[in-house]
Chains A and B, each alone.
Chain A
Amino acid sequence: AQKVTQAQTEISVVEKEDVTLDCVYETRDTTYYLFWYKQPPSGELVFLIRRNSFDEQNEISGRYSWNFQKSTSSFNFTITASQVVDSAVYFCALSEAGDDKIIFGKGTRLHILP
């Protein structure tokens, strides 16, 4: 069975600090996809990244970086030099190959304090 765990319910950091959001997943498939989404106060979920299970290379996009480690079934997300606009709920998610469903974690609410 698929499962995504985001143990951090809520995090507050001061602007310009770095912050890491944790994500641990469970799946029996060897081929799967991992996602991160951002949900700002406006409500829509914004796609940030997709990783497939065969690509463990870490990715950096501006201030965002992702650390995928199959050995620990983790796909953590780091925001460097956080900004107030990064305040949102962030969701980690998983989809197994051949499946058109994405299973979401409960989300981590991130507050960036000015």
Chain B
Amino acid sequence: ETGVTQTPRHLVMGMTNKKSLKCEQHLGHNAMYWYKQSAKKPLELMFVYNFKEQTENNSVPSRFSPECPNSSHLFLHLHTLQPEDSALYLCASSQALTLTDGYTFGSGTRLTVV
């Protein structure tokens, strides 16, 4: 256990479904992140939250909607996704602006859009 927990581990959804990914960290960090990892592509930063405020949206389509109700929880709401959105979605947390130990990552949610 890294201290960052992601649920579910695996998700299969249709293109018309609405689902949410959840991330929770127990490390007392104040920054949280969503990354997308597709086959044969580098890790793509999607969103950054510092102290619950979104500080980065890396041109992510609106079918991905993040929510950060507090510094310990981060959600990614999904709706009307496309098959090319199938990927491993990784959540991470850190002490913002220090990155002394880099990010701590969760195990990811493997998403398949059918």
Contact = CB atoms under 8 A, between A and B. Distances in A.
Interface residues of B, number: 27
A106 B104 CA distance: 19
Interface string B86-114: 00101010101101111111111010000
Interface in A93-114: 93, 95, 98-107
Interface stretch (A21-29, A43-51, A68-76, A80-88): A43-51
Interface residues of A, number: 23
A37 B97 contact: no
Contacts, number: 59
A35 interface: yes
A100 B107 contact: no
Nearest to B98: A100
Contacts of B50: 100
Interface of B: 2, 31, 41-43, 45, 48, 50, 55-56, 88, 90, 92, 94, 96-97, 99-108, 110
